Structure 1
Amino acid sequence: MSGLGPRRITAAAAAAFGILILTVLRPFPPEGQIVSYALLLGALLAALAMPSFTSVAVTAAQATKPRSAPTTHARPASPTAKVDPAVALKSRWTAACKHHSAVLSAYGAYELDPAMLLQYPALWDLSAQPVMDFHDALDLAGGLQSDAYPADPSDAQDYADAVDILRSAWTKADRFARTTGTDQLAEPDARDCRRALKLLRHADGTTGQERASYLGQVITTVDRLTNRGVVSAVPKISEELATRVQLAIEA
């Protein structure tokens, strides 16, 4: 009976005691004795079989208690990998070399194409601040450029910084030239640029002597603009036009 509650023990003891008194004293006639035995025996069995209030309450509480989610053990975060400064600097230097080449290619499109000179002469206006800044940055990056990764890390750092400046300066100079066009020129000079550009486009649709004639007029106009200080002398463009004339004559 160690598992019984206090109330159940008391009830069972009372029923057992009543049965004992009935057996010893026999206070009732046989019929009443039998009825009394039955009642007390039923009370005894009920006391022994009935679960205690505490057990019922505990069982009910356990049944209604929400199940907690299974505990998961979080893995400790792996420490952040440290980047070797030397490796990072070399990667930046390598990227700077590519960016430098990209700027030179973009600028080369102006230097090698006569149409760019005639459409956007402002890129050769060395009195304009964006153009001056670009040429200064171009000289700085070119002076720090090397074919191989420098032995001195500070040289690599200086070159990467210079290329950053160059990229920004080129963006500003290119925007300045394209947005300005020939607007900063006097009307006679702007007219010469437009006329030479038309002649150049006519030349692209012809061959032989006719093509050479158109190109010759373009060269004359460009020389005139250069002599008047409208555009700076661009040897590469002069060479390109002369080559086109020669090829047209030989065709």
Structure 2
Amino acid sequence: MASNSGPVSVTSRIEYRRPLHDRLAAVASALAVAALIELVALTIIDTDPVVTGLVVIATLGLSLLTAALGRVLDLPAISITVDDEMVHFGNEVAIHSFPLSDLLSVKQSTELSSDTSVARSSRADQYRVRGCRYLQLRFASDPDQEWQVATIESDPAAAEVVSRLRAQQPKKRKVFAGKAMGDLAKPAQAEPDYQPTQPQPDRLAPRIANAGSVEAAERLWQAAIRQHEAVLIDYAQYELEPELLLRFPAVTDVSVDTVARFHTALSRAQELRTERFPVNLDRADEYQQAVMAVRKAWADCEKYGRAVGTGLLDVTDQRELTTALSLLENARHSEGAQQADYLDRIHHIVTDLADRGSLHPQQQAIDEIEAGRRRALEAE
């Protein structure tokens, strides 16, 4: 009988040194230096060689014993585990658990931690390790509290943990204005405070080529698949949402350099994509790198297209798009025949601009406007 078990839990673990380890290492080094000084000093004062040897050997032995003690003592570790319902993190002193459904945000610090700060009495929400970046997590149970958990960026398990956490973040939802109906909902990308997602710098992303096992490589490949899909979804919004088409036509206009570069990168990634994890790890790595290129190209494409707005069009065409946006806003606050009339006028403007080559809408975007007009009439 088939099992319906959920996803396998993934754990990222990073060890760190206690102050005791550092002190023992310092003592061992000091004793080794002392042995050398003893050897030189006792030789200069012409001490009996046997005595000199015994003293130096004793000091060196003590140095080695101290160093060995430092190695024998277990290193503590910070861990973070994600399963199908929960995220658990902490160290050997305390483990904190939160439902994934309560996760509000997850970010990766841009700077390296300057110290090791592990659940101090004054800051029980810090699990940082000196020289490492850390995750910044917030949960619905206390939105003002930020948990900081160290991770190693090159660890495939850490990459999978981050990927799963980000997948659980609340999705951006469409914002409805007035009496919006159906496809007249205002997309999040049209809101003034919308911030395009910036891809992680390539130097921070672990590569499939460097994965320590086939399982780790497959997790990274799956993450690349999800990133690829996310870009396709984001781009489709600009192709199919009427308001985004009217506000930011340069995001999808293939005559614009940034859009052309994005399509070139996208075609390459599409060519390398496979339905299943490829046996050839070089191909999997090549696909992962192609997806990284797509994400960067898309970020540049969206950033430039939003910045330029309708500025690449003639003044007359810009005025027509402004009129269409006003009509769309009016349609959101109306219904029935009046709403249908607004949408019909928008449809006419868009098709006219497309016929003149000023606008390059997908047919589905035009169909959506027409479908909205029909629904408005049917709702009467």
Counterpart of 2:348?
220
Q: Report which of the two has the higher share of helix.
A: 1
Which amino acid in the other structure matches residue 184 of structure 1?
Answer: L
Matched, 1:89 2:89: no
Equivalence for 1:149: 277
C-alpha change, 1:234 and 1:77, in structure 2 (3 Å) is farther
Structure 2: distance between partners of 1:84 and 1:136: 31
C-alpha offsets along residues 222-248 of structure 1, whole Å, 9 cap, x if unaligned?
Answer: 011111111113112012111111111
Q: Relative contact order: is structure 1 or structure 2 higher (C-alpha 8 Å, sep ≥ 6)? A: 1
Give the CA deviation at 1:204.
1.1
CA RMSD of aligned residues (A): 2.3
- Aligned residue number for residue 227 of structure 2: 99
- Residue 256 of structure 2, aligned match among 102, 109, 128: 128
1:124–1:231 CA contact under 8 A, matched in 2: no
Q: Does the 8 Å CA contact 2:340/2:376 hold for their aligned counterparts?
A: yes
Max radius of gyration: which structure?
Answer: 1
Tell me which of 64, 70, 82 is aligned to 1:74: 70
1:165 to 293, 296, 310: 293
> 1:185 — aligned with what?
313
Larger CA deviation: 210-219 vs 156-165: 156-165
In 2, the alpha carbon distance for the partners of 1:138 and 1:88 equals: 25
- 2:11 is matched with none
Distance in 2 between residues matched to 1:165 and 1:242, nearest whole Å: 36
Shift of 1:121: 0.9
Decide which of 344, 362, 366 is 1:234's aligned counterpart. Answer: 362
Contact 1:226 1:233 in 2 (8 A): yes
- Give the Å deviation of 1:169: 0.3
TM-score, scaled relative to structure 1 = 0.66
Most deviating of 136-145 and 160-169:
136-145
Matches within 5 A, 1:28-67: none
Q: 1:165 to 1:83 in 2, by over 3 A?
A: closer
Is 1:109 the equivalent of 2:237?
yes
Q: Indicate the residue corresponding to 2:328 in structure 1.
A: 200
The whole-number CA distance in structure 2 between the counterparts of 1:75 and 1:108 is 55
- Offset at 1:130? 0.5
* Cα deviations by residue, 1:175-231 (Å, 9 ceiling, x for unpaired): 011000011211100000100011111111111111111000000000111111111
User: What percentage of aligned pairs have identical amino acids?
Assistant: 33
Q: How many residues align?
A: 180
Which ranges in structure 1 are unaligned for 5 or more consecutive residues? 1-70
The letter of the residue matching 1:165 is A
- Kept in 2, the 8 Å contact 1:226–1:232? The answer is yes
1:85 Cα offset (Å):
4.2
Asked whether the equivalents of residues 150 and 156 of structure 1 are also in contact (C-alpha less than 8 Å), the reply is yes
Q: Contact 2:245–2:361 at 8 Å: present in 1 too?
A: no
Superposed displacement of residue 83, structure 1:
5.7
Counterpart residue number, 2:377: 249
Shift of residue 91 of structure 1?
2.1
Q: Which runs of 5+ in 2 are unaligned?
A: 1-64, 75-154, 156-209
- Work out the CA distance in 2 between the residues paired with 1:160 and 1:89: 10
SS in 2 for 1:74: helix
